Amino acid sequence: MERWLERFPVPEESPAHLIKHLYVWIGAYHYVPDKFYQYTPWFTNAENLSLLGYKGVRLLQEPSPWRSPQSVTSLTVKTGLVTLVEIRDIMGQLPNLDSLWLSGLLVGRVSPGIGTVLKGRFGGKLRLCRRYTSECITSMLLEIPTGIHFTEFQIESARRDLPSNVKLLEACGRTIVKLSYMVDFERESHSFSWLSRP
C-alpha cells in the first residue's frame, strides 16, 4: 500500500480502475495507511473485496474512514480485527453485494434494527465459518429488507448454532441449489453436501 501511494500520489491518475480483486492484508506489524482510505472509492471496477489478517492492529478506526468501491459484488472477511458492526457498515456500502464469506473470530455484536440498512442482492454464495455462524449473524442477515436469496451455502458450524443456521436455510428455501454443511460435534466432524434440485 505504501508503494502504491508513493507511485500514484493522485488517486484519479492511478490504474485503480483496472483492479478486479482488492485484497487488504492486516496482521502483526501491518497497518493500513490513513491516506489509502482516500483511494478505495477509485477502485471503480473491483468485483471482489477481501479483508484478511490476524494478530495485529485493528484495520479500522472509530469512526471508520473506509469507503468501499460500489462495484464490489463479493466480500470476504477472514480476520478477527474487524468488528461485526464494521462488517455490517462495509456491507451497507455495497449495493451490488451478492456473495459473502465471513470467517475468523467474531468481535462484538449487532443490536437488532440499529444502524446501516443492508441493500445488496444477496443471491450468490454465502460462506460462514467458525464464530460467524451464530445467532447475531443470522439476525443481521434476516433483517435485510429485500430478503436473502443465496443459491449456495457453505457453513462450518458448532452444534449450538444449528438452530440459527436452519433459519438462514429456511429463508432461502426457494433459491438454494447447493448446500455444504459441516458440524463440529465435540471434536468429531461430519460433512455432507448435496444438490437440493437439479
Running DSSP on this structure, what letter comes out for residue 30? B
CA atoms within 13 A on the CB side of 72: 26
Higher pLDDT, 48 or 12: 48
Look at strands 188-195 and 74-78 and give their pairing.
unpaired
Looking at residue 9, its pLDDT comes to 84
Query: Measured between alpha carbons, how far is 17 from 30 in angstroms, rounded to an integer?
Result: 25
The C-alpha cell that represents 62 in the structure block: 472509530
Helix H or strand E segment including 32: none
Q: Which helix (H) or strand (E) holds 101?
A: strand 99-103
Beta bridge partners of 21: 48
- Rounded CA-CA distance 46/71 in Å is 6
Q: Quote the cell numbers at residue 120.
A: 445488496
What is the spatial distance between Cα 164 and Cα 148, in angstroms, rounded to a whole number? 15
The three-state secondary structure class of 170 is: helix
Mean pLDDT of 57-75: 71
Q: Is the pLDDT of residue 93 over 80?
A: yes
| Helix, strand, coil % over all residues of the chain, rounded to 5 | 30, 25, 45
More confident residue, 131 or 60: 131
Looking at residue 194, its pLDDT comes to 44
